Structure formats: structure tokens, C-alpha cells
């Protein structure tokens, strides 16, 4: 349990409600900053301003998945006031006070390294990425259905990348009856795709492999669907780029060729905010329990 552990939840969207519920269940003492417009009460949690919290009594800080911008401002959809992680306040927290975020930002990198505080980037963890691949797959299927006029069954689909997301996408489209090819650069991935019963190819041969496809799903966060590759793709193909912004597609050239190409950041939060919130909440709870139940860094 997290009894007497004081955690500050600083801003966030609907996903953070799952986090609040989970940490509340574990008996943590919660200070909610940036939730003044949320029409809901949580026993054991108080809605406050950051300045009202004594930083010396804080055991952990939980930020929204996008972290904090240049001036420390965090996304806070349940408040109409700006919510910030203020450096002066942060430096007063105990040394063992960790910051939990989805991704880092230059501001957070600098702040945590200057103040020598641990920063935990939840979205870099394998478990979070693998769990998140589930709603990402569902969102990808939804987008493909919405943007094409053919069934997924028997459609020719190329998936680029066999990481945590690419593997789940390739497997799901195969299960739906698509004819799936997967493009990778690593020989071990070629072997894995073969073992999965799918057709592998090296991304160096991508231009040749896209000549007759219906759908291309990119998970590679690097320029891969270049003008050279797109020039070989049928104009009626559909590209869904799920890689982090700016994606791996030359969108300008795709438009010029009349290929429909979309980029879809944040699919888990879009299609399943509750599940996306639970994924974060469960992993976070596990990390906090490990940290505090071990007795390590206990105040
Ligand atoms: P990952 O496990 O790191 O997988 C990335 C894959 O891309 C790996 O197979 C990697 O191959 C490959 N790759 C990287 N650079 C490459 C290059 N230059 N050429 C060829 N292949 C390359 O990442 P992930 O968790 O699957 O996530 C993939 C992307 O999707 C990330 O950008 C992530 O932020 C994004 N994402 C978006 C959503 C959404 O809602 N849109 C949801 C989840 C994830 P190697 O193993 O050979 O390096």
C-alpha cells in the first residue's frame, strides 16, 4: 500500500482519472493540481494549487503523458488556469522525489538533471508500449475501415517495423484475413516474421514491395516512405502512419501523387481513453509500490 505517501498529480486528461482512482485505492495521499473544473470528488484526494503544497512533503510527482513544455506548463484539460511545474518549488522537494511522465521534454530533461531527481518515462518502458499496442491496433483497424472501400480480409497490407507496435499490428491484420508483408532491416526480424507465417522483406527493397499494395501501415519513426518509394505505390493505396510525429512519410509527395496518407498520433487515448489510463495507472502503481514497499528512499 502507499499509505502516507504524498503524491502530486499535476494536470492531465481523462487518463489521469484512472491514475487517481488507482492510487487512491492504494491509500496514497493525493494532491490534485489542475483538476478544479473536474466535477468529481475523490475521498482522500484534495484539489489544490501547486503553491499550497509544501514541496518538502512530496514523495512523487505525476505529470501528464506529454510532460512539461519550456516554461514548465503541463496540459491540464480539467482547469482553465495554466498549470506549471515551477523550478523554485521543485528544487525544494526531497532528493528521492521522482517525476513520472509519459515522455520527456527538453525542459524536463534540464530540470531533473539540474536538480538531480529521477525521471521515469513511462512510454519508453516495454510493458507500457506493449500494452498500448492493443488500443493502437484497434485504432488502426478503425482508421483503415473508415478510409478504404475494400475489406481488410484479402487486402494487401504492408506493415513497416516489427517493434512493439508493428508486431501487434501485423498479427491483428493477419488474423483479419489480410495478406500481410512486413518490412524490417534486421535479419532476426526477418526470421521472426517467417515464423509468424507472414512474408518478410528488407526495407531496402521497399520501393519494389509496395507496387501492388492496398494499405501501408508505418510504425518506423524515421523517413521511410520517401518520394522514391511513394512513386512506386498505387495511387489508390492508403497509408496510415502511426509513428511518432512527424512520422516516416513524405506527406507532401503523397498528396501530390493523390495517395491518401494520414498520421495518427495518440490512438490509444482517442479510441480507448479508459484503457489507456488503466495501462498507465497499473504500471505506475507497480513502480510506486516497488519503490516504497521496499522501504527504499522512504521519508
Ligand atoms: P519500437 O518497438 O522501437 O519499434 C520501432 C521499429 O522501427 C523497430 O522495428 C525498428 O527496427 C524500426 N526502425 C527504427 N528506425 C528504422 C529505420 N531507420 N529503418 C527501418 N526500421 C527502423 O517502437 P514501437 O513501440 O513499436 O513504436 C513505434 C512508433 O509508433 C513510435 O514512434 C511510437 O511513438 C509510435 N506509437 C504511436 C502510437 C499512436 O497512437 N499513433 C501508439 C503507439 C506507438 P530495429 O529493431 O531494427 O531498430
Q: Estimate to the nearest angstrom the gap between the alpha carbon of 215 and the chain centroid.
A: 23
Whether 298 has a pLDDT exceeding 60, the answer reads: no
Whether 44 has a pLDDT exceeding 90, the answer reads: no
Whether 277 has a pLDDT exceeding 60, the answer reads: yes
Q: What is the dihedral of CA 189, 195, 197, 201, to 10 degrees?
A: 30
Residue 296 pLDDT: 52
How confident is the model over 105-129, as a mean pLDDT? Answer: 96
Q: Where are the domains of the chain?
A: 6-124+273-293, 131-265
Phi-psi region of 45 (alpha: psi -120 to 50; beta: other; left: phi over 0): beta
Distance 166 CA to ligand 1 centre (A): 7
Helices (H), 149-258: 164-175, 187-195, 206-209, 227-230, 251-257
Q: Residue 43's pLDDT band (boundaries 50, 70, 90)? A: confident
Whether 299 has a pLDDT exceeding 50, the answer reads: no
C-alpha cell at 26: 492504494
Name the CATH code of domain 131-265 (choices 1.10.3720.10, 3.40.50.720, 3.90.1150.10, 3.30.360.10).
3.40.50.720
Q: Residue 295's pLDDT band (boundaries 50, 70, 90)? A: low
- 6-124+273-293 and 131-265, same CATH topology: yes
Whether 139 has a pLDDT exceeding 80, the answer reads: yes
| Cβ neighbours around 53 below 10 Å, total | 19
C-alpha cell at 146: 473508415
CATH of span 6-124+273-293:
3.40.50.720
Q: Ligand 1 pocket check: which of 67, 129, 165, 225 to mutate, most ligand atoms within 8 Å of Cβ?
A: 165
C-alpha cell at 51: 503553491
Nearest to 17 by CA among 5, 35, 31, 2: 35
Q: What percent of the chain has pLDDT over 90?
A: 94
Alpha-carbon dihedral sign for residues 282, 268, 11, 245: positive
Distance 165 CA to ligand 1 centre (A): 7
E strand residue ranges, the chain: 6-10, 29-33, 45-48, 60-62, 73-74, 83-84, 98-101, 119-121, 156-160, 179-184, 199-202, 215-218, 238-241, 260-263
Whether 282 has a pLDDT exceeding 50, the answer reads: yes
Mean residue pLDDT across the chain: 95
Distance 247 CA to ligand 1 centre (A): 10
Q: Under DSSP, is residue 194 helix (H, G, I), strand (E, B) or coil?
A: helix
Q: What is the dihedral of CA 91, 95, 50, 86, to 10 degrees?
A: 30
Q: Residues with Cβ < 8 Å from 82, sequence gap 6 or more?
A: 73, 76
Whether 212 has a pLDDT exceeding 80, the answer reads: yes
Residues with CB under 6 A from ligand 1: 129, 132, 136, 161-166, 184-186, 203, 219-222, 224, 242-244, 264-268
221/184 Cα distance (integer angstroms) = 13
pLDDT digits (tens, 9 = 90+) for 251-263: 999 999 999 999 9
pLDDT digits (tens, 9 = 90+) for 54-99: 999 999 999 999 999 989 999 999 999 999 999 999 999 999 999 9
The C-alpha cell 513520472 sits at 100
pLDDT digits (tens, 9 = 90+) for 153-163: 999 999 999 99
Amino acid at each position: 500500500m502507499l499509505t502516507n505517501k504524498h503524491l502530486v498529480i499535476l494536470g492531465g486528461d481523462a487518463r489521469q482519472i484512472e491514475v487517481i482512482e488507482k492510487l487512491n485505492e492504494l491509500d496514497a495521499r493525493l494532491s490534485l493540481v489542475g483538476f478544479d473544473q473536474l466535477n468529481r470528488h475523490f475521498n482522500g484526494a484534495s484539489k489544490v494549487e501547486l503553491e499550497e503544497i509544501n514541496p518538502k512533503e512530496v514523495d512523487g510527482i505525476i505529470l501528464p503523458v506529454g510532460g512539461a513544455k519550456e516554461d514548465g506548463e503541463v496540459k491540464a484539460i480539467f482547469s482553465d488556469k495554466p498549470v506549471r511545474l515551477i523550478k523554485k518549488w521543485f528544487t525544494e522537494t526531497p532528493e528521492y522525489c521522482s517525476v513520472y511522465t509519459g515522455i520527456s521534454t527538453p525542459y524536463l530533461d534540464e530540470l531533473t538533471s539540474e536538480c538531480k531527481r529521477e525521471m521515469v518515462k513511462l512510454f519508453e518502458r516495454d510493458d507500457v508500449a506493449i500494452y498500448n499496442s492493443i488500443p493502437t491496433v484497434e485504432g488502426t483497424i478503425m482508421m483503415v475501415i473508415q478510409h478504404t472501400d475494400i475489406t481488410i480480409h484479402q487486402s494487401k497490407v504492408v506493415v513497416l517495423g516489427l517493434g512493439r507496435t508493428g508486431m501487434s499490428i501485423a498479427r491483428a491484420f493477419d488474423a483479419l484475413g489480410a495478406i500481410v508483408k512486413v518490412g524490417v532491416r534486421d535479419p532476426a526480424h526477418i526470421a521472426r516474421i517467417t515464423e509468424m507465417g507472414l512474408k518478410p522483406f528488407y526495407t531496402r527493397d521497399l520501393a519494389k514491395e509496395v507496387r501492388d499494395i492496398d494499405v501501408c501501415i508505418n510504425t518506423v519513426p524515421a523517413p521511410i516512405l520517401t518520394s522514391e518509394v511513394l512513386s512506386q505505390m498505387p495511387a489508390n493505396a492508403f497509408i496510415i502512419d502511426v509513428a511518432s510525429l512527424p512520422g516516416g512519410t513524405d506527406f507532401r509527395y503523397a498528396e501530390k501523387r493523390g495517395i491518401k496518407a494520414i498520421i495518427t498520433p495518440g490512438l490509444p487515448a482517442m479510441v480507448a481513453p479508459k484503457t489507456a489510463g488503466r495501462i498507465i495507472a497499473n504500471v505506475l502503481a507497480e513502480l510506486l509500490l516497488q519503490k516504497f514497499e521496499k522501504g527504499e528512499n522512504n521519508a
